[in-house]
């Protein structure tokens, strides 16, 4: 069922006011990485937004080293974080079954 345009406008408003669920997730993620001393860089639409190129997004692009990703997963796996690569593999397996 299509989403009413007013709901879309409200979601965009929350996004551009930095009050969206994606912003909250980014704050939680960057705090967790900082607490672990893991260097990172924000990429994609969130980085573009920080530089004045306004657009909404539904994900967070983040760059970290492979070994730091492993450390992060060891500490946080199953505690509200989603491994998107693993989720894509599971989804692909289910869609071909």
Residue 70 structural domain: 5-96
Instruction: Give the residue among 71, 75, 47, 72 at the shortest CA–CA distance from 61.
Output: 47
Looking at residue 3, its pLDDT comes to: 86
Weakly modelled stretches of the chain, pLDDT under 50: none
Looking at residue 78, its pLDDT comes to: 76
Looking at residue 52, its pLDDT comes to: 87
Number of independent structural domains in the chain? 1
Q: Which string of DSSP letters, residue by residue, matches 7-69?
A: HHHHHHHHHHTT-SHHHHHHHHHHHHHHHTT---EEEHHHHHHHTT-----SS-EEE--HHHH
* Phi, psi of 42, rounded to the nearest 5 degrees: -85, 135
Query: pTM here?
Result: 0.73
Instruction: Give the residue among 32, 28, 12, 30 at the shortest CA–CA distance from 20.
Output: 12
CA distance 78 to 76: 6
């Amino acid at each position: 069922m299509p989403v009413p345009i007013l709901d879309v406008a409200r979601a965009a408003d929350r996004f551009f006011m930095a009050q969206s669920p994606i912003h909250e997730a980014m704050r939680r993620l960057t705090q967790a990485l900082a607490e672990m001393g893991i260097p990172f860089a924000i990429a994609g639409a969130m980085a573009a937004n920080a530089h004045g190129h306004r657009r909404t997004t539904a994900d967070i692009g983040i760059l970290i080293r492979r070994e730091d990703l492993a450390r992060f997963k060891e500490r946080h796996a199953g505690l509200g974080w989603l491994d998107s690569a693993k989720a894509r593999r599971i989804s692909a397996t289910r869609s071909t079954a």
